[in-house]
Structure 1
Amino acid sequence: MHDTPMPADTAQDVSADHDIATALATVRARIANAARSAGRDPSDITLVAVSKFHPRARVVAALRAGQMTFGENRVQEAADKFPSLRAQWPDLRLNIIGGLQTNKAYDAVRIADMIESLDRATLCDAIARAADRVGRLPRLLVQVNTGDETQKSGVAVEEADAFITAAIARFGDAVAGLMCIPPVDQDPTPHFRTLATMAGRHGLGVISMGMSADFEQAIVAGATHVRVGSAIFGPRPTRPT
């Protein structure tokens, strides 16, 4: 008697599940080691799996491996992938982590559990209007442009304290913390420390910083959320698949 060969598409699904589960286990172990080295509890660190441009099947593989929090840069892509998954995985959490256009605020408020890119008054206005329409307000992070890079989203460092204070006055406890993306050509640690100090100054508990290349440094500097994509899902496609 011969074993029936596994269909090619099923074999590929099993392989993808295994690869992502293995990668997740490796990343989680690195997070735990970095946290313990810094005298922190690994359970205080939330892993945000960044699935930008990766197909829904790879998100499902990560969900099967126990990953519940995901980050997406593009609202439309997130809307295509995630709402239908919540019925099977009710603990799923979706963070919008990319620069957010005001005309996408409604959909972001409708589908996201957290928006990590609050950075200007017009976006505050758009989110407030959307929240009134939808009847819900996601948790919000103020994105700080710690490197003051002209091509990057985020409020300038010199304007950040005033903006954070105004955002808290408007949205209250929904403003949960801060986010940054340091310049790629600089040591990220000073940027991480700047963000952590700023969050502490405003009594904010969420500090989202660190990606695949530097999340361990971010944890040492105080990150509570790290956004990891390629170390989990592999190289990012150049467009949605």
Structure 2
Amino acid sequence: MPLSDINDRIAAACERAGRDRSDVTLIAVSKVQPPERVEAVLAAGHRIFGENRVQEAQGKWPAWQKAHPDVALHLLGPLQSNKVRPAMELFDAIHSLDRAKLARRIADMAQELGRCPDLFVQVNTGEEDQKAGLPPAEVDGFVAEVRGMDLPLAGLMCIPPVDETPSLHFALLRKLAERNGLPGLSMGMSADFEEAVAFGATHVRVGSAIFGERVPT
């Protein structure tokens, strides 16, 4: 589906929800996509992209960032403590902050680098054993802890269980964000981004609907 169609659908979802289109950021999820597909989206003028792995992003994005200095990169996948430096050097936002050890490592590195990406706390709204993220009951305390480190906390992120109605999880994430005074809601993917917009998403993460199905590595 062309990028313009996705933008049109986001605009229509915003109109239905009584929201301004400028309040929703479209992250084109380029993980495991062939270079020609990413270059086509760059050529169409899009500049906000998401990757799941630091190492993969390191291998392909520096050249594109040099050619397009206005590109913004968002890390969507889990971040290991030993990858914090390259992640903070490469990415403009990290959507997978989910533990105190990682927050402390980011805080230390921010002091060293003199900069820090925007941070989203990942919430495991379905409390799934195999999925990263904090259980909802721990979000308030963790947000307070991160704020105590003077980190740029932008909002919350979730990935709903595939076999459950996503709106329940979007509503929960919004409630948690509102309770903690956080403006950002990173939620919604190719199959449900319009529903996420209706529940207040500020960042939607769309991959296959823009690029086509991912190419396995």
Task: Classify the TM-score, shorter chain.
Answer: over 0.9
Query: 1:95, 1:113 within 8 Å by CA — same for their partners in 2?
Result: yes
Identify the residue that residue 102 of structure 2 maps to in structure 1. 123
Where 2:108 maps in the other structure, the secondary structure is helix
- 1:84 aligned onto 2:63: yes
2:188 aligned residue: 210
Give 5+ residue unaligned stretches, structure 2: none
Q: Which residue of 1 aligns with 2:141?
A: 162
1:54 and 2:33 matched:
yes
Residue of 88, 97, 115 corresponding to 1:136: 115
Task: Report the number of matched residues.
Answer: 217
Identity %: 53
Distance across 1 between alignment mates of 2:8 and 2:199: 18
Asked whether the 8 Å contact 1:44–1:224 carries over to 2, the reply is yes
| Partners of 2:34 and 2:215 within 8 A in 1 | no
Distance in 2 of aligned mates of 1:170 and 1:132: 11
For residue 133 of structure 1, report the CA deviation from its aligned partner. Answer: 3.1
Query: Are residue 197 (structure 1) and residue 175 (structure 2) matched?
Result: yes
Q: Distance in 1 between matches of 2:31 and 2:66?
A: 21
Structure 1 letter corresponding to 2:47:
M
Moved more, 52-61 or 62-71: 52-61
CA drift of 1:128 comes to: 2.0
Deviations 1:83-120 (A, max 9, x none): 22223212100000001111111111110000000000
- Is the 8 Å Cα contact of residues 52 and 78 (structure 2) preserved in structure 1? yes
Which of 116-125 and 132-141 deviates more? 132-141
User: What TM-score, normalized by structure 1, do the two folds share?
Assistant: 0.87
Q: Which amino acid aligns with 1:29?
A: D
Shift of 1:169: 1.8
- Aligned partner (choices 121, 141, 160) of residue 182 of structure 1: 160
8 Å CA contact 1:106, 1:126 repeated in 2: no
Q: TM-score, normalised by structure 2?
A: 0.96
Q: 1:55: Cα distance to partner? A: 2.4
* Aligned counterpart for 2:198 among listed residues 196, 205, 220: 220
1:87 and 1:153 map into 2 onto residues whose CA distance is: 32
Q: CA deviation at 1:125?
A: 2.0
The alignment's C-alpha RMSD in Å is 1.2
Query: Of the candidates 57, 75, 90, which is equivalent to residue 111 of structure 1?
Result: 90
Aligned-pair CA distance for 1:126: 1.9
Structure 2: distance between partners of 1:181 and 1:86: 28
SS of 1:155's equivalent? coil
